[in-house]
Amino acid sequence: MILDALLSPKKRHSETETLDEKLSRSLLKTISWRIIGTLDTIIISYLITGTLAMALSIGGVELGTKMLLYFFHERAWNKIKWGK
C-alpha cells in the first residue's frame, strides 16, 4: 500500500479542487487524537502515582491544553503546501 503510493504517478488537482481540510475534519481529528493521548497519559500517570484520582486529574488538565495546541498546529500545517 505504501509502496504503491510512492511508485504511482501523482495526480494533478484541478483549479477548483482544494487541498485544504475542512474545519470540521480538523476538529474531529483533534478530538479523536486527544482521546487516545489522554487515555495514554492517564494510564502512565496511574502507573507512576498509583492513584486513580491523581491520574484522572493529570489526564483532565492534559486533555484541554493539548487539544488546543493540536488544533492550532493542525490548522497551521494545513496552510503549508509542501508535501501535498
Residue with cell 500500500: 1
One-letter amino acid at 32 equals S
Alpha carbon of 20 to those of 14, 16, 36, 40, 82: distances in Å? 13, 12, 24, 30, 12
pLDDT in tens, the chain (84 residues): 565 655 665 555 554 455 677 888 888 888 888 899 999 999 999 999 999 999 999 999 998 898 889 889 888 988 988 887
Task: Give phi and psi for 24, each to the nearest 5.
Answer: -65, -35
pTM here? 0.59
Q: Fill in the DSSP letter of residue 18.
A: -
Read off the C-alpha cell for 52: 486513580
pLDDT for res 23:
84
pLDDT for res 31:
85
